């Protein structure tokens, strides 16, 4: 599944300028670009966004600390319950939007 930045805004509740800033600051977040140059987000990108949002908004990490934490988590060393919940939540939201688009 591939989503535009507007769809990602709706799913995550994070505005496009913030998403673009996160893309610049977090190396793991690299959405692809289509032929016209628009960002196209994958399911993996959405999962990273939800985890990043949790780290920044709920746990009050700085963007630098959140990036380091994401790196540690994605490299396999420190997957705690919050990570697992964030990943499951992202997957459920993705499925919800797939089903909604079929109706």
Please give the pLDDT value at position 102.
79
pLDDT for the residue numbered 4: 93
Q: Residue 93's pLDDT is what?
A: 76
pLDDT of residue 89: 74
Rounded average pLDDT per 10-residue block, the chain, 103 residues: 91 94 91 91 91 92 90 70 69 76 75
Identify the CA nearest to 19 among candidates 62, 48, 60: 48
> What pLDDT is stored for residue 73 in this prediction?
81
Q: Are strands 32-33 and 39-40 parallel, antiparallel or unpaired?
A: antiparallel
- Residues in Cβ contact with 37 at an 8 Å cutoff, skipping those fewer than 6 apart: none
Task: Name all domains of the chain by residue range, CATH numbers in brackets.
Answer: 5-102 (1.10.1660.10)
Question: Which pair of structure tokens corresponds to residue 1?
Answer: 């599944």
């Amino acid at each position: 599944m591939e989503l535009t930045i507007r769809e990602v805004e709706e799913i995550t509740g994070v505005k496009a300028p913030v998403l673009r800033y996160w893309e610049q600051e977090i190396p793991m977040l690299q959405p692809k670009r289509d032929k016209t140059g628009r960002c196209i987000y994958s399911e993996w990108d959405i999962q990273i966004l939800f985890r990043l949002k949790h780290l920044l908004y709920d746990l009050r990490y700085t963007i630098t600390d959140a990036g380091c934490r994401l790196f540690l988590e994605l490299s396999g060393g420190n997957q705690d319950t919050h990570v697992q919940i964030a990943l499951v939540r992202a997957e459920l939201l993705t499925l919800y939007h797939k089903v909604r688009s079929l109706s």
